[in-house]
Amino acid sequence: MTTFYHYHDTPIGKLLLAGDEQALQLLGFPSCSMKRRHDQNWVESKRPFKEVLKQLDEYFAGKRQEFDLPLAPAGTDFQCQVWQGLQQIPFGETWSYGELARHVGRPKASRAVGAANGLNPIPVIIPCHRVIGSNGKLTGFGGGLETKSFLLNLESSQAAPGLDFR
């Protein structure tokens, strides 16, 4: 099956989108630990990402709080369970790694949940940026803490004006 890709300009930089004609499989940041570049065997095309582009633009414009897209993140069963749990964190809210671990039924697995969170192949859309340390501090993020802060502030300004995650 052909993998398509497209780079999309956003307020947090040029994001790499990759997937097939059925689903988004990857969203890569332009820098930091989740920096991603396209594979030479992939085909450049905006067409498969028309709805993804529309929904990302709406999100960054403050007009969308939930994504409704076909997603196909590749991972282990446990990772997929954690990524599904991430999608349960309400817009504009944050959970600790412990809260997420309890939510997915693995209350003693905070570290493993954190590791799975860090491997999320579709950040922003699968909102791993909504997970923070148990002390309320921002912790590691594949797109960088500045990007995480930007995303949390974007969401909190719409959900509960006055919160600031800087």
Number of H helices, E strands in the chain: 5, 6
Which of the following is catalytic: 34, 128, 132, 151? 128
Spatial distance between the Cα atoms of 24 and 3, rounded to a whole number of angstroms: 10
Other CB atoms closer than 10 Å to residue 10's CB: what's the count? 15
* Helices 77-86 + 110-118 axis angle, to 10: 80
Q: Using CB atoms within 10 Å of the CB of residue 49, give its burial: 0 to 12 exposed, 13 to 18 middle, 19+ buried.
A: buried
Q: Which residues pair with 7 in a beta bridge?
A: 16
Spatial distance between the Cα atoms of 10 and 150, rounded to a whole number of angstroms: 12
**128: annotated active-site residue:** yes
CA 67 to chain CA mean position, Å: 11
Q: Which amino acid is at 15?
A: L
Q: Which residues have a catalytic role annotated? A: 128
